[in-house]
Structures are given as structure tokens and as C-alpha cells.
Chain A
């Protein structure tokens, strides 16, 4: 089935509902066009319990990405993929969870209709890591008009007044970055602080991202935030030849660990240690 714009899932409503059910949110990342059958990773992720999926639209100069996602972007670009082709492929699959595009501002700024193009493909969220809140006004308006949630990032270095502004302007959720570094940097537990600060400012879902590579990290991170984004750890496996089914299994282990952690917490026991 092809999703029409009218059927589009609202990212924030969807994530809020799942969070309010007491479920730690799990959002995996995939570099669009990484392989000919790349959309199969989307369906496997969804089947494994993803609450939304972040799709990277590859850019030649990914300034906030570490070596793994740089390599994935390069590989996809060498396959000759374009945003237009990727969106057409996304439009042809029914994944069943909200899809969120992640890409850099130069690709977004190519067309005033960029957000409408996303919505037409069934993508209802957008993350632009090199577009800070101060520069975001034009895109905020375009995204809103297209029914796309523009999600902003908050970093450990963000001062309190900016955090409040980011929490106010961000839609869908707030994307908190756990470390001062790029994607794939080692997870630091201190990163939980930023998520906790944002949670105190907004009741929008708050996800913690960057460097979450083990189920133990995910459980720790989900203790501070409403959920986690997992990127480089999955892309590393895909670059090494992991199939959609194998990646589905990997994600399912994160899902189980997060769900178990809630049960454990509800039973008043300790959060389980790293079991990955």
C-alpha cells in the first residue's frame, strides 16, 4: 500500500502515545540507499519493535557524522542515489511506524518544496543537524505547512536559555546528543544529564542519541530519557554485510532489553547490567 499524505502518522502523537503507555522509545537509524534492498531494513526494524525510524538522506559532507556513517553515506552516494529516488522508494513501502528524515541543510535548501516532498513520500519528521534553532525559522514554517515535524538537537554544551528555546521550537520530540562528538562516539553516561534537563522543560518526548552501541547503553540512556536513537552501531553491522533479517534480530535484542528494564524497574529491582 502506498501511504497518501492524508494517512501520514503524526510523529509526536505517536511517540507520546507509546511513551505514555510506559514503553521506552526505540528509534533506529538507517542510511537511505545503503543497498539495493535498503527499504527491507525499514520493515525489519519496524517488525523488531522500532517506534519510529530515522532515514539518513546521504550528503557528501556530513559534518556531524563519525567514520561509520560517513562511510555509509559515501557508499550510498557511490551507488548513485538521489533524494528523489530514495523518497520514491520510501513511498512504495508501508512500514507502519513514523519515518523521520535526517539530512544536512544544503540538501534541504535545494527546494522550497523539500518538506512537501517528504510528506508526499510518507515521511513526517525531519532532523537537520547543521541547522541550529537560530537559523531554523524559514524551515520551521515550511515544515509546519507540510505537516512535517522539525526536530531540533540539544547538546551537552547548550546553555539553559537555549535549551528552553530548543524545547519550545522542536516538534515531534527533542533530540538530545549524549556526547560532545560525532555519531558513533563512545557513549558517556554523563550524557543523561542533558536529557534530564530537557525533560524538565517540556513534556515532548526526549530521546538520547550518539554512541549507544550496546543494550546496556540503551538501558542506561533510557533511564534518563524517554528513549534512544541507535545509529552507528547498526550501520557498522550493515557495512559489514548484515542482512535486513540479521539487523532485525539485533534491534529486537535492544527492544527486549528496554522492555525488560521497565519490568525490572517496576518490580523495584536494579537496572540490569550490560548484557550485550
Chain B
């Protein structure tokens, strides 16, 4: 997984944004390229990830679950990172970059609220202002994270347009960025959006895969992660792209851009997109708000097309039992998003998709505290 050529991963990616945002995107690209090549920036980020975010996160052998499934399951524990998910990896990187660019404010979209909480956290740590756009539907179902963001000093702006979920929160964040590009950095939360975001966010998340590769004794046969926009998956895959491991991305059935979408352009990039026959973007539906997005990062579209990664689908009905099973067997309450990856392992173990005796690395992208209200409703 390399740097995209001209902002593209094969046919996907690009920079399809209004002219008013082009200079801002170009500035982020050159600032990131320069920072990423600067050992001082890298070591400052590494230091923060260690002393603040708690990295490296553990690699936990899931012994009881492995025994039940007949495959060796290794869990990469992003739920243990500060703020409870992998989102902090990207946000610390972008917040440092924003400061380096002289920006005083971070804008972010959020679905589950995890990226919003991470952004609010990094802003507090580094003395920046934070404004988080969140769909009204998500504000309701992720009330805990809304409260956390406000405690951390962020402004949470309800988005009332369209589907009132992550898609519209992202549109609104981009609209608002136009009005304040001079002092604000758009801290996008996944491997999507206009170039350089898909590339930059993957680079900030590759710490997941790089650590896991060192922590695994030998290469796992399978490397699995859930996919919303695809940042925890991209970061995980980045550590194993040059190995023989089979890479598996798990989408939510109601937001499965690769399974049920076709190529389109939304939020600044070309990728697979859920849309109707006329090109109107469809509403995604998932019990996991972080996977409630009709698109997928452009690099995943490319990895799919060239056959380097496979993308599969898990339904809401499989996800809730997976949360319970991981909790009972391993004492880990994972996020509904992460449970998609677990659910696929449970379903596939012992079949041709994931043969008995295989070793499988699964990224647990986050912890489940935020989902307790949803799970209480589903019980």
C-alpha cells in the first residue's frame, strides 16, 4: 500500500471538491507530505501515541474463543487506546499537523461519536478549538459520546438535513470548512474524502498494522477488520499488504458499498457508493453508527478490484450475538462496529472461507461502552 499516484488508487480517489476548497486540500497535502518526512514530527507523534494514547496496544490471544471456533484468534486491542477506539491515532496526527500549519480550530464529522470524542480530546490536549458535526439521529443514539465531547470543551453541532446521520454530518463539515479555511483544519475521521485524506489517514492508522505485525509471531493467515469508511481496516492492512495474509474487510449489510454499491462520487472522492438507479445516494442503515455510511474509502475499492483484499458483509442480527460471545469468552465488551469483524470470524470459522486451524488477526477497533443503550434496547 503505497502513496497514491496523482491522488488516485487505481480508478478511485481524486479530489472532487468545490473550487473554494482546492487550495485548502492542496495545503493539507503539502503540509502532510513535509511533516511525514520530518523525523521530528514523527517522533513527536510517536511520543504522544505512547505517553498519551497508551500505545502500543496489546495483542490478545483469544484463547477460549479460539478453542470454541477451532481457529487461532488474535485480537488487536484498539479498544484499549485512549478514548476507546483507533480514532485517536488519526486525530493526534492531524491535530499535530493542524498546529504545525498554524490552525487554531479542528472541524470534524462524527457518526458513532468516537471520532468526535477523539477530536475533542486532541483539541483539549493541544489547546485547539473543536467543532463536531453530528446527525440528529446519531446525537440521539450516542448521547453518551455527545456528553463526553461537550465535557471536553467541543461544540457539537446537530445536522438536521438529509438522512441526519454520518453522510450528512460529513457534507455539513465540508460546507462549514469552506467558510473558515483560513484558521480551521478539517480533521476527517476515516480514509475517505478528497486527496490527501485517504492516504494521510491510512498513514496515521498504519501504526495498528505495524505494531500487530511485530506482535504476531509469524504472519497470520487472515487479517480481518470492520469497514465503515475503512480507516481501522486500512491501518491494519497496511502492516500486512506485503505478506501472504488474506485481507478481509467486513462491511455492515446496510452500508455495504462494495457488496451492493457501484462506482460514484461523493464527499470529494470516487469509490463504490450505495445509490439508486438514478445516482441519488442511498441511506445506509446499520445498528453500528460508525458503519452507517453509503461509501467506502477509495483504497479499499482498489484493493477489492485488484483482488488484494476481500470484502464481506455481516447483518445486524449477527452482530449483537457476537458482542455477547466475545464478552462471555474473553471479557471484552467491544463496539458494535468491531463486532462485525468478530461476527465474520464466528460465521466463517471452519468453512472454506476461514479453514479450521488458521490463524486470524482481528482488529477490535473500539470498546462498547457507547453502545450499551442500544444493546439494552436489543436485549
Contact = CB atoms under 8 A, between A and B. Distances in A.
Interface of A: 59-64, 66-67, 70, 74, 77, 82-84, 104-107, 109-110, 129-135, 152-159, 162, 166, 177, 180-182, 185
A154 B268 CA distance: 17
Nearest to A111: B279
A157 B281 contact: no
B162 A158 contact: no
Contacts of B161: 67, 70, 74
Nearest to B18: A64
Given A130-B18, A130-B268, A132-B19, A61 B175 contact: no
B165 to A, nearest CB: 12
A210 B20 CA distance: 13
Contacts of B178: 64, 180-182
Interface stretch (B9-17, B69-77, B204-212): B9-17
Query: What 10 A-B pairs have minimum CB-CB distances, sorted nearest first?
Result: A155-B20, A110-B279, A60-B280, A155-B19, A60-B281, A107-B279, A153-B19, A64-B18, A106-B265, A105-B265
Given A61-B162, A63-B175, A70-B161, A155 B18 contact: yes
A157 B23 contact: yes
24 contacts: A61-B167, A61-B168, A61-B281, A70-B162, A82-B278, A104-B265, A105-B16, A106-B265, A106-B266, A106-B273, A106-B281, A109-B264, A130-B17, A132-B19, A134-B15, A152-B19, A157-B19, A157-B22, A157-B24, A158-B20, A159-B23, A177-B19, A177-B20, A180-B20
Contact of B179 (A62, A110, A180): A180
Interface residues of B, number: 33
B30 to A, nearest CB: 13
Most buried by A among B174, B181, B268, B278: B278
B18 to A, nearest CB: 5
A251 to B, nearest CB: 26
Given A106-B264, A106-B265, A159-B23, A132 B18 contact: yes
B171 interface: yes
A110 B278 contact: yes
B275 interface: yes
A129 B18 contact: yes
B266 A157 contact: no
Given A61-B162, A132-B19, A182 B175 contact: yes
Interface in B148-199: 161-162, 167-168, 171, 174-175, 178-179, 181
A133 B23 CA distance: 13
Main secondary structure of the interface of B (DSSP, over half): mixed
B298 to A, nearest CB: 13
Main secondary structure of the interface of A (DSSP, over half): loop
A216 to B, nearest CB: 23
Contact of B14 (A63, A67, A135): A135
B267 interface: yes
Interface string B260-276: 00011111100001010
Given A61-B281, A130-B18, A134-B15, A106 B275 contact: yes
A154 B265 contact: no
A49 to B, nearest CB: 29
Contacts of A104: 265
Given A82-B278, A157-B19, 13 more contacts: A61-B167, A63-B17, A74-B162, A107-B278, A109-B265, A134-B15, A155-B22, A157-B23, A158-B23, A159-B23, A177-B19, A182-B175, A182-B178
Interface string B278-290: 1111000000000
Interface string B11-54: 00011111111111000000000000000000000000000000
A232 B8 CA distance: 35
A98 to B, nearest CB: 22
A154 B19 CA distance: 6
A231 B158 CA distance: 26
A155 to B, nearest CB: 4
A158 B24 CA distance: 10
Nearest to A77: B280
A158 B22 contact: yes
Contacts of A63: 17-18, 171, 174-175, 267
A177 B179 CA distance: 13
A67 B159 CA distance: 11
Most buried by A among B20, B168, B273, B280: B20
